Structures are given as structure tokens and as C-alpha cells.
Structure 1
């Protein structure tokens, strides 16, 4: 196994890495700076866009990206122009949209995070379909994270970082409806779960943000390995590269809340190879009108 830095960029709040095989680029966001960036496989930055509000998560779209901004879903075209789609009623308790992924059929799911200090869990998860309609699919969270899908697309993974448990839900590929929640893996002994992805074997790779590790969990819910990384606060992993065998990991230098580091490489992205694992190409969100 080899761990190296990817790009010279140091993010404050790096999140939502997505490999774009069409271009051979890795996209990601720096939430605190309202920024979306892309770099090629060598780490050279190819795009850098700054917007009027924070971008919590992104996915691939037909002509660019689909994004969860602070309080709405939007499309971002290849030149960085934004077309708002829908402003879901996420409620006054939510700070903003946070983690998100495109499902195997091209719908985009993203969850919110709530203001600190609130006792009641007010964060929610929303699903954006190709018609630009948003539907609430889960409630009762404080900080939604770890959204990803099994290789077959019939299971949704989701965590509340503050709860420390990765959940699993049956997921209907035709409708996007969720079945009953199952507690899949309790992370409290190994670190708080942040972003996650799956590989071709159905293993879940999760950023353990508070303990500077990446965890690999079997499809049966057993911890297979724990990987120490050289910088604090790993936030989200994504497989990419030409053979989908590189695990890219965003990290945090200053979340603006509780996570802050003076490590000289804090916020830099990592590229991990030699894991004997390959990722699955992300699906593309295609609007019904194909515009």
C-alpha cells in the first residue's frame, strides 16, 4: 500500500470527491470557500469555480455536475454556470445540505446538517429526480453523512456522524423508496463516520474523521481493516483513476466548527494505492428533458 498527496491544494473543508471517467478528472468541493475544483490524474488543477453559497456535495451530470448548495439543488454546466432546480423546505433548523451521491439510476441524494446545540434531530435526506423534483426520504438526523449505494443499487448506506452508527436501508431501484432502517455498523469504538464509498466487492470504505483513519467494512458488517492516514480529519473517500483502483480521500484543515488542525499538510487530499480493491464508476444524473 502507498499513500501520497494528490494536488498541491489545501482545502479548509474538503469533501465530496467524485471521479469523472469521461475527462479523467477528480472533482471535489471545499465547502467553507464555496468552491468546486477538478484535477487530472497527475494532480494538475483543471477547474476552479467559486460560487455565491456553499456546495455541500456534487455528482456527475450529463453536461457537468449536479450539486447540493446550501439550501437548494442545482446543475453546474461545463463552464461553471449554475441553473437552480429546486429549493426543498429543509427547515430553519438546518445549516445547509451536506453529503450526497448519485444513485445507480441517476437520482441525486443529499442530506442536511443542523445547527449545533439543538437537542432534537432535525436534519433530513432528500432525493432529486430527473424531473427536478425533490422528495424527503429520511428524517431524524443531526449530521447526515456516508451516503453511498451497494454495487447492485438495492441498499443505501447512511450515517449520522454524531450518532456514530452506519445505517443500511433497502432501496428500490425503480422508485428510489427506502425500506426499514437497519443498523449496519457501530463506529463508536473506531471513530466518527464521515463520507463513504463502496468497491466492486460490496465493501464499504468510510472516513473515520475523528481518529485519522479509513475503515473498510465487509458487506456483512464486519471491520476488515483500518488504515492510518498521515493528516488529521479524513472526510470522504472515492475510488478513481484509470483502473478505479486509487482511493482518493479529502481532508479537513478547518471545518469552521469543531475540527481544526495546525498540521502543515492539513486539508490536502490523499491518493491511496495498493489496496487490492476497485471502485465502481459513478452514475450520471440526466434531467428528463435532457437540457
Structure 2
């Protein structure tokens, strides 16, 4: 098993995010987009120039991705919104859970057919299992796949498109499913990664070799797991609450990691000076999904 030491991790965008999340590599713009959920910000980092950007948002975001002909979109509390990197958030494209004002969207990725998969969750902090798992076609057909979810996370797809990964983080379990790209259905759920103690899985991404990169909250690390679930690489981090990894950069071999300041007391924040910043390191595998 390989280990990337904490000394090899560098901060690349200092933004003091309360909950930095959802890093997304926008190859067309050469930009790593990410969000600050409670801070209600869309953040951008351009590795080639080092330039950063920030847009204030009217609601809490849950993810940022490109979605078919809609281009760059944000999942906000009540739906999917267009976003222009020059001017910020635009019109709402699709409403989601308008009748549940105590919920917000969380974690979103597109599948190989271009569907947008995302979850919803309680935003009040009481941890109630009121969320759901959805998919949305580019022409606006919304499907609800699961209910009674607490914190939807680890949405990712294998490079071949035949495996779907998902976690309700409070379960401490990442599941793997057989996935039908044509129909957008999944089946045969099985344990892929199980965490114990205070550790929980958060966001995930996959690489071209089928490896699954998982952020371990309260674990100060990113794990890369083979398709059979065994760990073959660990990235040690200077933060205890990493939230999501994303592979990007010109050759797909830069690992970006978002993290959280929220829930850390004053004493811990003095020790974890990079909590809430965008971190990066070089890794042996690349080309994310």
C-alpha cells in the first residue's frame, strides 16, 4: 500500500470555508470549482495562473457540475440553477423539493449518459432521515430512487459505467451497485467500504483505472480503494474533516481535496490551520469521473 505523506499536501486556495465541498474539475475552463455550503459561496481556482474567484449565492449550495447543454450548474436548496462564471448564479432550471423548505441538496455527479445524480438532506441540523436520492435527465425528468436518507454522499460511477457508488454517511457504509447506464437503474447493492468508530465516509470520485477515492471524516485522510474494495493508497491530510476528493489538472493527476472548519472548536482550529482551505497534491493515478 502506498502512502502520500502530509508534508506533500499544499494549500492552493485559502478561503476559510465553513464547509468546503463538491470540488469539480472544469477542463474546458481549466478551473477547479468548489463551494462553501454555510458560507453560501461558489469558489474557483485556476491552477495554471493561480487566480481565484468567488461568487456570493442566495441559498446554500450542495454541488457544482456541468450538466449537458445547460453548462455549469449549481444544486441549491430548492433546485438546479444555471451559473455563469463571469456573473454568478442565474435562473432556476429545475425545481426540487419546493414543498420541503427545511431540506437542501447535497452531493451531485453526472453518470456516463449525462444524467445528474444528487441527494437531499435536512438543513436544520437535527439529522432527521428526510432526504432522498434523485436522478435528473437533461430534459428535466426527475426520478426519486431512495427515501429516508440522512446525509447523501460518495456519489460516483466506475469508468466503465457499470458500477454506481453511494453512501448515507451516517451509516458509515459506502455501497456499490450494479448500474444500467441505458435505463439509469441500479441493483444488487453490497458493502464496498465500511468505517467504524468516529469515522464516516463523505465525498468520493473515481479514476480511469476504476479506483475509488473516498474522503474519511474524522480520519484525516483520503483512501483510494480498488474495485474490490481493498485500500491501495492513503493520502494523509493536515485536516481531520476532509469532505471530498477530485482529480483534475492538465493531466488529471492533481488530487484536490476540500475540507471543513465547521464543528471544530477554537483549540482544534489553532492546530488545523488549513481546515476549510482547498488542498492539493500529485498522485500516481488520474483522469477522474
5 Å-filtered alignment, 1:160-175, equals: 160-175=168-183
Q: For 1:59, which of 65, 70, 89 is the aligned residue?
A: 65
TM-score (norm 2): 0.88
Aligned residues: 276
Residue 279 (1) aligns with residue 287 (2): yes
Aligned Cα root-mean-square deviation (Å):
2.1
Shift of 1:182: 1.8
Report the Cα distance in structure 1 between the residues aligned to 2:285 and 2:247, rounded to whole angstroms: 9
Residue 240 (1) aligns with residue 251 (2): no
Shift of 1:81: 3.9
- Identify which range, 83-92 or 235-244, moves more after superposition: 83-92
Shift of 1:228: 1.9
> Secondary structure, in 3 states, of the residue corresponding to 2:9?
strand
Structure 2 unaligned residues grouped into runs of 5+ = none
Residue 4 (1) aligns with residue 10 (2): yes
- Identify which range, 91-100 or 102-111, moves more after superposition: 91-100
Residue 41 (1) aligns with residue 47 (2): yes
The answer to whether the 8 A contact 2:11-2:274 is kept is no
Report the Cα distance in structure 2 between the residues aligned to 1:106 and 1:147, rounded to whole angstroms: 14
Deviations 1:190-219 (A, max 9, x none): 821000011111111100011111111110
Residue 31 (1) aligns with residue 40 (2): no
The answer to whether the 8 A contact 1:165-1:188 is kept is no
Q: For 1:17, which of 12, 23, 27 is the aligned residue?
A: 23
Shift of 1:259: 4.9
Instruction: Determine which structure has the larger helix proportion and give its number.
Output: 2
Report the Cα distance in structure 2 between the residues aligned to 1:162 and 1:43, rounded to whole angstroms: 39
- Identify which range, 110-119 or 136-145, moves more after superposition: 110-119
Report the Cα distance in structure 2 between the residues aligned to 1:134 and 1:154, rounded to whole angstroms: 21
Report the Cα distance in structure 2 between the residues aligned to 1:95 and 1:194, rounded to whole angstroms: 18
In structure 2, the CA distance between the partners of 1:132 and 1:221, relative to structure 1 (3 Å rule), is: same
> Secondary structure, in 3 states, of the residue corresponding to 1:238?
strand
Partner of 1:287: none
TM-score (norm 1): 0.87
Report the Cα distance in structure 2 between the residues aligned to 1:253 and 1:244, rounded to whole angstroms: 27
In structure 2, the CA distance between the partners of 1:253 and 1:116, relative to structure 1 (3 Å rule), is: closer
Partner of 2:91: 83
Structure 1 unaligned residues grouped into runs of 5+ = 283-291
The answer to whether the 8 A contact 1:86-1:133 is kept is no
Shift of 1:70: 0.8
The answer to whether the 8 A contact 1:148-1:196 is kept is yes
Deviations 1:231-269 (A, max 9, x none): 231110000011000110001111xxx455513222111
Report the Cα distance in structure 2 between the residues aligned to 1:128 and 1:70, rounded to whole angstroms: 16
Shift of 1:42: 4.5
The answer to whether the 8 A contact 2:23-2:35 is kept is yes
Partner of 1:265: 274
The answer to whether the 8 A contact 1:73-1:84 is kept is yes
Partner of 2:160: 152
Shift of 1:158: 0.5
